Structure 1
Amino acid sequence: MKSIMTGALLLVITSGASFAGTPLIDARQNAQSHRIYNGIASGRLTYPETKQLVRGQIHVQRLENRAKADGVVTPFERARINVAQSVQGARIFWKKHN
């Protein structure tokens, strides 16, 4: 179970690093992935919680990939990604502290 989730987190982290132009978004994604991994390692996250959080990380990464598809990330797209990351960050907090 842990190896599957670790592999999925690694995929999310590395898929965003291949593009340039959004270093703050990538750094935040990386930090949130580490928060999830630490929750797995400490035992604070159960398998279903981890699965849901990883799906959320993948959703944010897809938003970023779509925004970068035309080569330019507009301020609206950045704001949308930022909101999605904020929601994901809150979900990570609540899942780790329930």
Structure 2
Amino acid sequence: MKAIPLAAALLGLTAAAMPATVSAQRGWQPIAQRQGNLDARIDQGIRSGRLTRPEARRLTTEMRQLSRLESRYRAGGLNQWERRDLDRRYDALSARVRFDKHDRQDRRYR
């Protein structure tokens, strides 16, 4: 009879710990996933007309340069400083994509 309350208590503790674990993991995305998300946002901006050709070209070039930098970092093993540097650079690129997509320099407003 004591097995059922014990199992219920363990299940409750496990369920309570899950949201904290999941939310902690959501804060950090693997670099490959960030690249894919940014690439998809740039493509969507091009298709929707929210990015002008020069903006899209510049963002794509920055994305390529960032990818090359990551390859150089990974060649020697990615340390904590390099990971933070890449995170900072991807954050900045993400902010530029967001700004360029909402700066009203698309064909609908000209």
- Identify the TM-score tier after normalising by the shorter chain: 0.7 to 0.9
CA RMSD, aligned part only? 1.1
Aligned mate of 1:35, from 35, 41, 45 = 41
Q: Give the drift of 1:62.
A: 1.3
Alignment identity in percent?
35
2:85 partner amino acid: R
**Structure possessing the higher radius of gyration over alpha carbons:** 2
1:58 partner amino acid: R
Q: Deviations over 1:43-96 (max 9, x none)?
A: 1011000001001101210121011112x1000000000011000000000000
TM-score for both structures, normalised by structure 2: 0.66
TM-score for both structures, normalised by structure 1: 0.74
Q: Which range moved further: 61-70 or 33-42?
A: 61-70
Aligned residues: 75
Regions of 4+ moved over 6 Å: none
5+ residue gaps, structure 1, are 1-22
Distance 1:80 1:59 in 2: 14
Determine if the alignment matches structure 1 residue 80 to structure 2 residue 93: no
Determine if the alignment matches structure 1 residue 59 to structure 2 residue 62: no
Distance 1:78 1:38 in 2: 27
